[in-house]
Structure 1
Amino acid sequence: MSSEEMQNQVDELVAGSISELLVKKEDFMIFRTIWLSHPQKNQIVGEAKLRGETIYRLVPTEN
């Protein structure tokens, strides 16, 4: 997956267009680079799955 495609998916996750984002092992470093620079990175939480896959979801902050 390209960096642009991953950025689009992260943007969709934050916007609520998608409820979860599946990141495969081979795409993790691309995701990590985008995630580290994202202003809402603390709300994007991952759940590890089998074979190095991780599902990321947006967790709303408590007010």
Structure 2
Amino acid sequence: MAEDYANLMAQLKSGELDEFTVEPADFMAFQTAYMSFESRKRIIGKAEKKGRIIYHYDHDQTQ
């Protein structure tokens, strides 16, 4: 089952989630949702080993 990345990003923005992980095989599905997310510039990713990326929301950034 594919992750609902738009929902996960909304949960990051609202504070329901602190972070979520995207595996390399799922990156293109994430990228599609990411490009449609209104505040995508606040979604920050950190690369981990084996291509895994952990995303969080930057609540401190000024718009």
- CA distance in 2 between counterparts of 1:13 and 1:27 reads 18
- CA distance in 1 between counterparts of 2:46 and 2:11 reads 18
Q: Which segments of 5 or more consecutive residues in structure 1 lack a partner in the other structure?
A: none
Secondary structure at the counterpart of residue 38 of structure 2: coil
Count of matched residue positions in the alignment of Structure 1 and Structure 2:
62
RMSD: 1.5
Q: Which segments of 5 or more consecutive residues in structure 2 lack a partner in the other structure?
A: none
- CA distance in 2 between counterparts of 1:8 and 1:42 reads 16
Report the counterpart of residue 49 of structure 1 in structure 2.
Answer: 48
TM-score by length of 2: 0.84
TM-score by length of 1: 0.84
Percent identical among aligned pairs is 29
